Amino acid sequence: MKGVYTWGAILVIVFASVVGDVLLARAMKQVGDVGALRRRVGLLAVIRRTLGNPNFLFGVIAMAVAFFSLLFALSWGDVSLVAPAAASLTFIGNAVAAKIFLHERVDRRRWIAASLVAAGVALLAG
Amino acid sequence: MLSHGMKQTGSISLNHLQGVIFAILNPWVAIGILLLLAFFSTYMTALSWADLTYVLPATSLGYVLLALVARFLLREHVSPLRWLGIALITGGVGFIAGGPELTEHPKAAELDDQRAVAATSSPLLSKDASSRAPNGVRS
């Protein structure tokens, strides 16, 4: 029964952090090239523009949800299961979500890279 | 940094919320929070330049750095399985670093006027070449 809770929490972490990452990426694509913007309108205006972006706000909220569900998961399961499982599944989930929602061209090279990194993180965090 | 500071302050209970204030005043925790802020702002900047599927695996080099710091500065033992993990991450990051960093969308060119100018001035360039054109423009 505890395993179900733990895996449920892991899925919530992965889902929330993937949603957060996609929203943050979309927000920054809407804000535009930060380097060029800073030269044109100044650093403060860039920060104001970023913080005012609704996608950015929702992305940060999703990240917070992911963080607190990580705390919940850690209270139910072992660190050696939760940390690597959540971290590596996030990489795979992000590749899928970026392809679907951000229309990024996730070619074979990026799939291989995402799986390699996910496997490596699972080994390191375990 | 954060964990070092939090271990110094000891555990915080919900009944003693003033403990949180002491925790923030601890220099290690303060430095940790500042570094996290720095990480977040540079991460957002990178996201404004490149794809999510490019930036995210690249940030995983932080895990490798962490393991190396643990090995050589803190003199912790790093097991062979973890060395394999380090090798896999490094290989994966090397894999994407060789590819294009940004998927070009037709709309993206219109958003940034500089890029739009660069794109119209060189209509013969292929898609891949035009994505690199703005870097070559000296303004």
How many domains is chain B partitioned into structurally?
Answer: 1
Check B92 against A116: CB less than 8 A apart. Answer: yes
* For testing contact with chain A, the best of B14, B48, B93 (most A CBs within 10 A): B48
Reply yes or no on whether the pLDDT at B115 is more than 70: no
Tell me: the pLDDT tens digits for A81-103?
888 888 889 989 988 888 888 88
Torsion angle, alpha carbons of B93, B97, B100, B105, to 10: 50
Check B111 against A103: CB less than 8 A apart. Answer: no
* For testing contact with chain B, the best of A28, A100, A108 (most B CBs within 10 A): A28
Q: Which residues of A touch B89 (CB under 8 A)?
A: 116-117, 120-121, 124
In a domain, B23, yes or no: yes
Tell me: the pLDDT tens digits for A21-35?
999 988 888 888 888
Full domain range(s) for residue B38: 1-49
In a domain, B63, yes or no: no
Check A91 against B57: CB less than 8 A apart. Answer: yes
Tokens 């499982």 belong to which residue?
Answer: A85
In a domain, B20, yes or no: yes
Contacts 24+ apart (CB under 8 A), B32-35: B32/B1, B32/B2, B32/B4, B32/B5, B33/B2, B35/B1
Q: Which residues of B touch A115 (CB under 8 A)?
A: 92
In a domain, B29, yes or no: yes
Three-class HEC string of A29-72:
HHHCCHHHHHHHHCHHHHHHHHHCCHHHHHHHHHHHHHHHHHHH
In a domain, B2, yes or no: yes
Decide if A39 touches B, using CB distance below 8 A: no
How many domains is chain A partitioned into structurally?
Answer: 1
Q: Which residues contact B13 (CB under 8 A, 6 or more apart)?
A: B19
Tell me: the pLDDT tens digits for B69-94?
878 877 778 888 888 988 888 888 88
In a domain, B5, yes or no: yes
What is the ipTM metric for this complex?
Answer: 0.78
Amino acid A102: pLDDT: 84
Reply yes or no on whether the pLDDT at A65 is more than 50: yes
For A120, the closest of B48, B89, B112 (CB atoms) is: B89
Reply yes or no on whether the pLDDT at A62 is more than 90: yes
Full domain range(s) for residue A46: 2-125
In a domain, B104, yes or no: no
In a domain, B99, yes or no: no
